C-alpha cells in the first residue's frame, strides 16, 4: 500500500521532465500503444456522439484518440506540466477537447 498523499503524487507527476512528456506520441507511450489502447477502444466501442470524461488525462493522448472517434471530451489533469502539454496540443489541433 502506498503512503504517498494525493498532493505528493500530483507534485511527482508535475516534476516529470519535459523531454519525457514530449516523448509521448499520438498513441501515448510504448505500453499504451501495445497493451492498452486496442483493448480499451474495443471495450468502449463507438464513441461517436458520446460525452466522455478523461479523468487523469495526463498529456491528453487518450482524449485526442477519443475525439478522433467523434466523442465530445473533457480531460481533467491536476499535474501542471501534463495539463500544459494537453492544452498546447489542443490549441494546435483544435479537436474541441476541453482540458482543465
Residues 31-76 have pLDDT tens digits of: 888 888 889 999 999 999 999 999 999 999 999 999 999 999 999 9
Q: In the prediction, which pLDDT does 35 show?
A: 85
Which of 3.40.50.150, 3.60.110.10, 3.40.50.11240, 3.30.70.1050 is the CATH number of 6-99?
3.40.50.150
The pTM assigned to this predicted structure is 0.85
Q: Residue 4's pLDDT band (boundaries 50, 70, 90)?
A: confident
User: Domain residues of the chain, as ranges?
Assistant: 6-99
Question: 3-state class of 2 per DSSP?
Answer: coil
Using the predicted structure, report yes or no on whether residue 9 has a pLDDT greater than 90.
Answer: no
C-alpha R_g of the chain: 14
Three state DSSP letters for 5-68:
CHHHHHHHHHCCCHHHHHCCECCECHHHHHHHHHHHHHHHCCCCCCEEEEECCCCCHHHHHHHH
Amino acid at each position: 500500500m502506498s503512503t504517498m498523499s494525493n498532493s505528493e503524487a500530483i507534485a511527482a507527476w508535475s516534476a516529470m521532465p519535459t523531454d519525457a512528456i514530449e516523448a509521448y506520441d499520438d498513441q501515448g507511450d510504448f505500453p499504451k500503444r501495445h497493451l492498452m489502447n486496442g483493448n480499451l477502444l474495443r471495450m468502449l466501442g463507438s464513441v461517436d456522439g458520446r460525452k466522455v470524461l478523461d479523468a487523469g488525462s495526463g498529456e491528453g493522448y487518450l482524449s485526442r484518440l477519443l475525439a478522433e472517434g467523434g466523442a465530445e471530451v473533457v480531460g481533467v489533469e491536476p499535474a501542471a506540466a501534463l495539463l500544459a502539454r494537453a492544452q498546447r496540443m489542443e490549441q494546435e489541433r483544435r479537436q474541441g477537447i476541453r482540458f482543465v
